[in-house]
């Protein structure tokens, strides 16, 4: 019996994840969002480099096993260059990066540094569907320009995904908001 009780405790959300503590936080402004974007661009660049290395390794494996042959003077990178499947793969990796962080804890590494969190208006975490909508409608960050023109400080992607980006206090910006 105690084993079952421990399993229930592990799956229950701790009190520190109470969404109410994030409800009253102010919405993020334009420049704070841009700071997080610049920081995240550095991380995303590293993620893309890693994903490209994996893709190059895959092409190398295919050529080593004879499933793919290179023409005279062609290298492994030229197989990937201009390949629509490779481009789609990189877009999926970037969306996976952002959506994964937003769904899991509401913050990318840049957002954490700038004390930002994406959430529903009731303070709860956004869903996978909302994260994907946010990723596709952010328009490479240009959707944040609407923050400058609106009184409610919502970016285009916030409106379309029905969520908000808030500024956390230093105390609230701990890992306790990660599931």
Write down the mean pLDDT value for the chain: 87
**Chain centroid offset of residue 64 CA:** 35
CA–CA separation, 36 and 71 (whole Å): 44
Residue at 71 is within a domain = no
Residue at 108 is within a domain = yes
Instruction: Report pLDDT digits (tens) over 117-155.
Output: 999 999 999 999 999 999 999 999 999 999 999 888 999
Instruction: Report pLDDT digits (tens) over 80-128.
Output: 998 999 999 999 999 999 999 999 999 999 999 999 999 999 999 999 9
CA-nearest of 131, 136, 125 to 99 is 131
Residue at 73 is within a domain = no
Q: State which residues form the domain around 155.
A: 22-43+84-177
pLDDT reported for residue 93: 98
Share of the chain above pLDDT 70, in %: 84
Residue at 154 is within a domain = yes
SS3 category, 167 = strand
Residue at 61 is within a domain = no
Residue at 17 is within a domain = no
Residue at 93 is within a domain = yes
Number of domains in the chain: 1
Handedness of CA 82, 129, 111, 36 (dihedral sign): positive
pTM of the model: 0.80
């Amino acid at each position: 019996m105690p084993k079952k009780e421990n399993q229930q405790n592990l799956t229950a959300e701790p009190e520190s994840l109470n969404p109410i503590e994030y409800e009253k936080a102010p919405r993020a402004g334009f420049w704070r969002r841009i700071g997080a974007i610049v920081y995240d661009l550095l991380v995303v660049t590293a993620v893309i480099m890693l994903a490209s290395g994996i893709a190059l390794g895959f092409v190398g494996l295919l050529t080593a096993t004879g499933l793919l042959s290179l023409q005279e003077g062609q290298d492994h990178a030229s197989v990937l260059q201009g390949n629509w499947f490779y481009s789609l793969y990189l877009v999926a990796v970037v969306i996976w990066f952002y959506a994964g962080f937003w769904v899991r804890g509401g913050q990318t590494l840049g957002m954490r540094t700038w004390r930002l969190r994406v959430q529903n208006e009731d303070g709860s975490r956004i869903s996978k569907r909302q994260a994907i909508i946010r990723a596709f409608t952010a328009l490479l960050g240009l959707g944040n320009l609407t923050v400058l023109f609106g009184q409610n400080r919502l970016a285009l992607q916030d409106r379309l995904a029905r969520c908000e980006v808030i500024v956390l206090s230093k105390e609230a910006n701990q890992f306790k908001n990660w599931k």
